[in-house]
C-alpha cells in the first residue's frame, strides 16, 4: 500500500481525548498492513499505569485476528498548534514488540514519510541473540 494512503488512513484515526488526570488518548494513530494484506488500526492509550503506543494497539488488533506477520507500519501525530501532521518512527518498545511477534517482521517496512521507509532490522541493530562468552 502506498505510504501516502496509509498516512491518510492513520490521520483519520486521530481523535485526541484528554482525561481529567491530563493524560492524552488517541492523539497518535497507527495503521498496520499484515502479511495477508489486511489493514489494522490503532491509537495510543496513555494511562499512568501502562502506556500503549498506537502501533502496539494496532498490532494487538492484528494478533486478535490471528495474524503475526507485518508488511507495513505507520504512526502519525498532528500538532494541535500548527495543524501539521507528522509521521512518528516507532519507539524502542514497539520495535522490539514487532520483532518478537515474528522474526520475519525484521523485514517489515516502517513508513517514515510519504517517500521514505526503513526496514525494521535497520532500526534495531544488534538484535541477534548474543554468542556465549568464554568466561
Ligand atoms: Zn511505541
pLDDT in tens, 49-99: 888 999 999 999 999 999 999 999 999 999 999 999 999 999 999 999 999
Lowest mean pLDDT among 3-7, 43-47, 59-63: 43-47
- CA of 133 from ligand 1 middle (Å) equals 32
pLDDT class of 40 with cuts at 50, 70, 90: very high
- CA of 15 from ligand 1 middle (Å) equals 18
pLDDT class of 32 with cuts at 50, 70, 90: very high
Count of CB atoms situated within 10 Å of the CB of 117: 14
Consecutive H or E run containing 96: helix 92-101
* Mode of pairing for the β-strands spanning 116-119 and 24-34: unpaired
In this predicted structure, the answer to whether residue 127 has a pLDDT above a threshold of 90 is: no
Residue 28, C-alpha cell as written in the block: 497518535
18-52 burial: b if 16+ Cβ within 10 Å, else e = eeeeeeebbbbbbbbbbeeeebbbbbbbbeeeeeb
- CA of 135 from ligand 1 middle (Å) equals 36
Residue tagged 499505569 (cell numbers): 49
Neighbours of ion ligand 1 (CB under 5 A): 53, 91, 94
In this predicted structure, the answer to whether residue 118 has a pLDDT above a threshold of 90 is: yes
- CA of 37 from ligand 1 middle (Å) equals 22
Q: What average pLDDT does the chain have?
A: 96
CATH code of the domain made up of 3-123: 3.40.140.10
Residue 129, C-alpha cell as written in the block: 541473540
Contact 55, 94 (CB under 8 A): yes
In this predicted structure, the answer to whether residue 117 has a pLDDT above a threshold of 90 is: yes
Helix (H, G, I), strand (E, B) or coil at 38: coil
Amino acid at each position: 500500500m502506498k505510504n501516502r494512503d496509509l498516512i491518510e488512513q492513520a490521520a483519520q484515526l486521530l481523535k485526541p481525548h484528554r482525561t481529567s488526570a491530563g493524560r492524552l488518548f488517541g492523539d497518535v494513530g497507527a495503521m498496520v498492513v499484515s502479511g495477508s494484506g489486511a489493514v489494522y488500526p490503532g491509537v495510543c492509550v496513555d494511562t499512568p499505569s501502562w502506556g500503549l503506543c498506537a502501533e502496539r494497539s494496532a498490532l494487538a488488533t492484528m494478533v486478535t485476528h490471528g495474524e503475526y506477520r507485518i508488511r507495513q507500519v505507520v504512526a502519525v501525530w498532528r500538532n494541535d498548534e500548527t495543524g501539521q501532521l507528522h509521521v512518528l518512527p516507532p519507539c524502542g518498545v514497539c520495535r522490539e514488540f514487532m520483532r518478537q511477534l515474528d522474526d520475519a517482521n525484521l523485514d517489515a517496512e516502517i513508513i517514515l514519510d510519504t517517500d521514505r521507509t526503513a526496514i525494521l532490522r535497520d532500526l534495531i541493530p544488534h538484535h541477534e541473540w548474543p554468542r556465549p562468552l568464554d568466561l
